[in-house]
Structures are given as structure tokens and as C-alpha cells.
């Protein structure tokens, strides 16, 4: 008897383009959401977008509440849950980078409330995904969360954000190549659940982005358009898979460990990009695709070395040799890398000197 089943939850409305920030109230209306919104944001996005969106709600006769979080932690999720209860909110709107959107989607999951995603940076592929990513002591959780009912991505806002945020988003997408390699390996070796559609969409997204790298240039609003569409496509791949596997393999474990060893040294996307160069080398050796990944990152101004990440060689090696412990996710790192092998791989790929 066939007993398999799946439940794929995706946004109902995806609004992308110049000036669409002012459509948030209309999108809420179209979704028939009633009551008071709670805008979940972080310090810079608050001024950039959350306050203007709040002003639009006020102009429409709706009294919004705002909560500002500083970090992507379970404490921040608690803060938002308490704020939603104290302010009698009916739905949440995450306004910001990966941090604010992740916290909003996890809090809305807990509260059983709808949630909208309003990105202010094209820096990560959590914009539409149904996962949250949270550090917890020595480990890092990929948490099931509420996917957004709608996404409102204003390319004018995204294009005005610092350029490195956009290159970080590109690198988060380029890292899908190695994430899928790890996923296929884990299927072959450990029989983990695998989605051909999730994997194919993830790889295709990376390929389209790399093919359009010429259109990804600072000061061009078209860059925000190209990158945001890729980020959303990658998020859909995660939702199809019901896991972050299509977009997170060993290169993400490396980045998560860097977050512990050198907090806030570099952006998430930049770290996973450099991790992806090294894990591509581990998958394919000299003839593998690591040079293609490095060149793709280089072509969009993303870091390709420890120095460009603002890290010393020893921190990179420590992250590479210990990051397999971060979570129970089988990757090319297996049970961990030997220190000399890590040094050789990082040196051969030019990540360290």
C-alpha cells in the first residue's frame, strides 16, 4: 500500500518590485487579515522600512505595534511572543534581514498566527522558507516554522541596502551547489529523505543566478530583482523538501561554527560561500567544481578567502575541523576532518595562505 504523504506550504502572494513597500496594507487586506499587526524588526531595518510601513497602517486607520530584536536567538523569539500577547496582536510582519524574518516566522508558528515577510536586504534565502535557524549553545537548530502568507520585497529598498548584503545573498545561493552534493551523498550513504524536486530547484536556482551574474552589479536595481527571485526560489526548494537540506550542507555547518568562534565577523552568506569553495574541493578534489564556485563568488564581489572574511587562518581551520559536531546532518565532512587535511584543503583552494 502507498502511504507516503506531503504537505507543502507556500506563500499565497509574492509581491516584488519598485516601491512595493507601500503595498503592505493592501496585501494584508487581500489576505483578509483582521486586527492589529505586530511588526518584528531589528535596529537598522526599523528605520528603513518598519516605521514607514507602520505609518501606512496608521494612515489606513490600523494601529500597529513594533518590537525590535537584536539577535537571532530563542530569547528573541520569546520577546516577540510576549510582545504579541501584551499588544494583543493578530498577525506578525517580519521586516528586515534574516534575523528579523526568522524570529517573526518562529514566533508566528508558536502563536499560531499568520505572518508576512518584508525583506530589507537580499542577503539570505530564508525570505520564504518554512525554516528558522537558531544557535543554541554548542549546536544549531533548523526549526520548523510558519512560512509567510505573503512576501513584499521592494527592490528599491533592497537596492539601497549596502552592496555586501546583496553579495551575501548571492553567495547563500551559490552554496546550494555543495548543499545538494552533501544531500545526495547523505542519501546514498545514510538513506536520508531526499526530494528530487527540491534538489533540482535548488541547483537550477544557483545556475540561473550564476548565468545572470553580469546583471548583479552595485547601484543596479535589477540586481536586487535577480537576487531576490533566486532567494525566493531557494526558499521554495526548502519548503518543498520540508527541510533546509537543499540549501544547507557542510558549508553551512562551517558558517554556523564561525558564528560561535568569531561572532559577527562576517555575514552569513559570505561565510557559507567560502565554506562552499572548500567543501566542493572535498567532494571533487582538484578536478571538482571548487574553482567554478570561487570564480562565481569572485565575479559578484563576494569573499573567497579567510582574510576577506576578516578571519585568521587558525579560526578557519578550527571551524572546518569541528563543525561536523554542530548538528546531526551527514555531509562530506563525515565524522570530522583531520587537521592536516583541513590545512591542505584550505590552502589548495586559496582560502588560507
Ligand X SMILES: O=C(CO)COP(=O)(O)O
Ligand Y SMILES: NC(=O)C1=CN([C@@H]2O[C@H](COP(=O)(O)OP(=O)(O)OC[C@H]3O[C@@H](n4cnc5c(N)ncnc54)[C@H](OP(=O)(O)O)[C@@H]3O)[C@@H](O)[C@H]2O)C=CC1
Q: Which residues are annotated as a binding site?
A: 98-102, 120-123, 125, 129, 172, 252, 256, 268
Q: Strands 114-119 and 91-96, how do they pair?
A: parallel
Position 239 contacts ligand X (CB under 6 A): no
Mark the segment that binds ligand X (CB under 6 A) among 59-67, 160-168, 241-249, 303-311: 241-249
The CA distance from 52 to 56, in Å, is: 6
The residue among 99 and 294 lying less far from ligand Y, judged by its C-beta, is 99
Position 132 contacts ligand Y (CB under 6 A): yes
The CA distance from 318 to 323, in Å, is: 8
| Kind and range of the H or E run holding 196 | helix 196-211
Instruction: Considering only CA atoms, give the Rg of the chain.
Output: 20
The residue among 105 and 131 lying less far from ligand X, judged by its C-beta, is 131
What string of DSSP letters covers 10-32? Answer: --SEEEEETTGGGGHHHHHHHTT
The residue among 113 and 161 lying less far from ligand Y, judged by its C-beta, is 161
The residue among 153 and 165 lying less far from ligand Y, judged by its C-beta, is 165
Interacting partner of 168 out of ligand Y, ligand X, Zn ion, none (Cβ under 5 to 8 A depending on kind): ligand Y
The CA distance from 269 to 89, in Å, is: 32
> Which of 140, 270, 324, 343 contacts ligand X by CB under 6 A?
140
How many CB atoms within 10 Å of residue 144?
A: 14
DSSP 8-state assignment for residue 264: T
The residue among 84 and 181 lying less far from ligand X, judged by its C-beta, is 181
Contact code string over 173-212 relative to ligand Y, x by CB under 6 A: ----------------------------------------
Q: Strands 91-96 and 139-144, how do they pair?
A: unpaired
> Which of 96, 249, 273, 275 contacts ligand Y by CB under 6 A?
96
Q: How far is the CB of 172 from ligand X (least distance, A)?
A: 5
What string of DSSP letters covers 138-183? Answer: TEEEEEE-PPPSEEEEEHHHHHHS-HHHHHHHHHHHHTHHHHHHHH
Binding positions for ligand X, 246-275, rule CB under 6 A: 247-248, 252
Q: Strands 139-144 and 131-136, how do they pair?
A: antiparallel
Residue 194, classified by CB atoms within 10 Å of its CB into exposed (0-12), middle (13-18) or buried (19+), is: middle
Binding positions for ligand X, 88-127, rule CB under 6 A: 125
The residue among 199 and 342 lying less far from ligand Y, judged by its C-beta, is 199
> Which of 229, 245, 268, 283 contacts ligand Y by CB under 6 A?
268
Nearest to 301 by CA among 326, 325, 330, 267: 267
Residues in contact with ligand Y, counted by CB under 6 A, come to a total of: 31
Position 270 contacts ligand Y (CB under 6 A): no
Among all residues, whose Cβ is closest to ligand Y?
98
Binding positions for ligand Y, 217-246, rule CB under 6 A: 238, 244
The CA distance from 251 to 231, in Å, is: 17
Contact code string over 98-127 relative to ligand Y, x by CB under 6 A: xxx-x-----------------xx-xxxx-
Interacting partner of 140 out of ligand X, ligand Y, Zn ion, none (Cβ under 5 to 8 A depending on kind): ligand X
In angstroms, the Cα distances linking 236 to 129, 143, 205, 245, 299 are 6, 16, 10, 12, 26
Helix, strand, or coil (residue 274): helix
The CA distance from 249 to 276, in Å, is: 9
The residue among 48 and 302 lying less far from ligand Y, judged by its C-beta, is 48
User: In the complex, which residues of this chain contact Zn ion (CB under 5 A)?
Assistant: 172
- Which residues of the shown chain bind ligand Y in the complex (CB under 6 A)? 42-45, 48, 72, 96-100, 102, 120-121, 123-126, 129, 131-133, 161-162, 165, 168, 172, 238, 244, 267-268
What is the contact surface with ligand X in residues (CB under 6 A)?
Answer: 125, 131, 133, 140, 142, 172, 244, 247-248, 252
Amino acid at each position: 500500500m502507498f502511504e507516503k504523504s506531503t504537505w507543502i506550504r507556500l506563500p499565497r502572494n509574492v509581491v516584488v518590485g519598485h516601491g512595493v513597500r507601500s503595498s503592505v496594507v493592501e496585501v494584508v487586506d487581500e489576505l483578509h487579515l483582521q486586527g492589529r499587526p505586530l511588526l518584528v524588526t531589528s535596529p537598522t531595518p526599523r528605520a528603513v522600512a518598519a516605521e514607514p510601513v507602520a505609518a501606512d497602517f496608521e494612515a489606513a486607520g490600523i494601529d500597529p505595534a513594533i518590537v525590535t530584536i537584536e539577535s537571532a536567538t530563542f530569547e528573541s523569539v520569546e520577546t516577540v511572543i510576549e510582545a504579541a500577547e501584551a499588544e494583543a496582536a493578530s498577525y506578525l510582519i517580519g521586516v528586515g534581514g534574516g534575523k528579523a524574518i526568522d524570529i517573526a516566522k518562529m514566533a508566528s508558528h508558536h502563536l499560531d498566527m499568520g505572518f508576512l515577510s518584508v525583506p530589507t536586504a537580499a542577503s539570505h534565502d530564508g525570505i520564504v522558507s518554512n525554516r528558522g535557524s537558531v544557535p543554541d549553545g554548542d549546536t544549531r537548530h533548523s526549526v520548523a516554522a510558519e512560512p509567510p502568507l505573503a512576501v513584499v520585497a521592494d527592490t528599491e529598498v533592497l537596492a539601497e541596502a549596502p552592496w555586501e548584503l546583496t553579495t551575501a545573498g548571492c553567495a547563500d545561493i551559490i552554496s546550494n551547489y555543495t548543499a545538494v552534493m552533501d544531500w545526495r551523498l547523505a542519501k546514498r550513504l545514510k538513506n536520508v529523505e531526499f526530494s528530487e524536486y527540491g534538489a533540482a530547484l535548488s541547483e537550477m536556482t544557483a545556475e540561473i543566478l550564476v548565468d545572470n551574474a553580469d546583471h548583479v552589479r552595485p547601484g543596479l536595481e535589477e540586481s536586487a530583482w535577480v537576487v531576490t527571485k533566486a532567494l525566493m526560489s531557494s526558499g521554495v526548494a526548502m519548503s518543498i523538501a520540508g527541510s533546509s537540506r537543499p540549501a544547507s550542507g557542510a558549508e553551512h555547518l562551517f558558517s554556523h561554527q564561525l558564528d560561535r568562534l568569531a561572532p559577527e565577523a562576517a555575514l552569513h552568506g559570505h561565510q557559507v560561500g567560502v565554506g562552499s569553495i572548500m567543501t566542493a574541493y572535498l567532494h571533487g578534489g582538484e578536478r571538482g567544481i571548487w574553482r567554478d564556485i570561487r570564480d562565481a563568488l569572485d565575479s559578484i564581489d563576494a569573499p573567497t578567502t579567510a582574510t576577506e572574511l576578516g578571519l585568521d587562518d587558525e579560526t578557519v581551520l578550527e571551524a572546518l575541523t569541528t563543525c561536523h559536531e554542530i548538528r546531526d546532518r551527514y555531509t562530506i565532512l563525515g565524522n570530522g576532518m583531520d587537521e592536516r587535511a583541513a590545512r591542505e584543503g584550505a590552502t589548495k583552494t586559496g582560502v588560507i595562505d
